[in-house]
Structures are given as C-alpha cells and as structure tokens.
Amino acid sequence: MCIKEEIFRDFVQKLRKEKEFSDEIINKIKELWEHEKITSQEEILKLISGDHSDDIKN
C-alpha cells in the first residue's frame, strides 16, 4: 500500500471514532477519494452540508 493510501486509511479510521461522522458521510468521503474528487472544495462543502441537511430532516 502506498503512503497516500495509508494516510487515507488512517484518516478514515480516526474519523470513525468521531461521533459527528456517520457511516454515511464516511462512505461519501471514501467515494470522493476513489473518484479523486476530494480535492474539490465544492465537493467537500457539499459533503459537509449534505450530512447536515440530513440531520435537520431527522
């Protein structure tokens, strides 16, 4: 596994321990990473606010 992947794996593992990050948002982060879209500010904003809108609905 290359360093980039190792860093991402550890990052996701740490996020899982944070109560604010649901499985859904972590899966979305993984999806962005796989599609190399995590470098887009827009996508990150969407990810964060999207997770929040779900909270509001609930």
Partner 1 sequence: MTSKIKKVKINSLRGIRDLELQIDGKKLLIYGENGTGKSSIVDAIEFFFSGTISHLKGVRGISLQNHGPHIHFEKDDMNVEITFNPGNITLTRNFSFMSSPPEHLKSYFQITQKSAFILRRSQVLEFIISRPAERFRAIGSIIGIESLDNIELEMKKVFDKIKGDIEFCNKQFKKIKNELSNIMNKKIGGIDDILPTINKMLKEVNYPQMKSLEMFDEYSEKLLSYTKKTKSFDKIHLLKMIRETTTHKLVEEEIEKKIYLLNTKITKILDEDFILKKYIHNILYNGLTILKEQKSEKCPLCEQDIERQNLMERVESRLNTLNDLSNTASEIRELSANIIKEIEVIVNKLNNVNLHVKLVAELSELSIQIEEQVICLKEIIKKISSTGDFKSNIEVKIIEQQFNKVKKLWKYISKKSENLLEVADISKEEKEVLDKIRKIEKVRNKTVEILNVQSKIKKYQKSFILAEKMYYTFSEVKKAKIQEIFRNIQNNIQQYFKIIHPSEPFENIELHIIPERRASTELRLDIFGREREDPRALISEGHLDSLGLCIFLSFIKKFNKDCSLIILDDVVSTVDSKHRENICKLLLEEFKDKQLIITTHDELWYDQLLSYQRVYNMENDFKNMVIVKWSINTGPIIQPYKTRWERIQEKIDKGDKNGAGNEGRQYLEWILTEICERMRAQVSFKKSGRYELGELLDSAKKRLDKLLKDSEFKDKIKEAFENLETKVFLGNILSHENKITKKVSLNEVESFCSSVKNLHNQFLCSTCGKFLNYYNNLKIIRCSNPKCKDPIEVKTT
Count of residues that bind partner 1 according to CB under 8 A = 27
Which pairs from 7-13 meet CB under 8 Å and 24+ separation? Answer: 8/33
Query: Rounded to whole angstroms, what are the CA distances from 5 to 9, 34, 35, 50?
Result: 6, 10, 13, 25
Please, what is the minimum distance in Å from the beta carbon of residue 49 to partner 1? 5
List binders of partner 1 among 27-46 (CB under 8 A): 29, 36, 38-41, 44-45
Three-state secondary-structure class, residue 51? helix
In the complex, the residues that contact partner 1 under the rule CB under 8 A are 2-4, 6-7, 10-11, 14-15, 18, 20-21, 25, 29, 36, 38-41, 44-45, 48-49, 51-52, 55-56
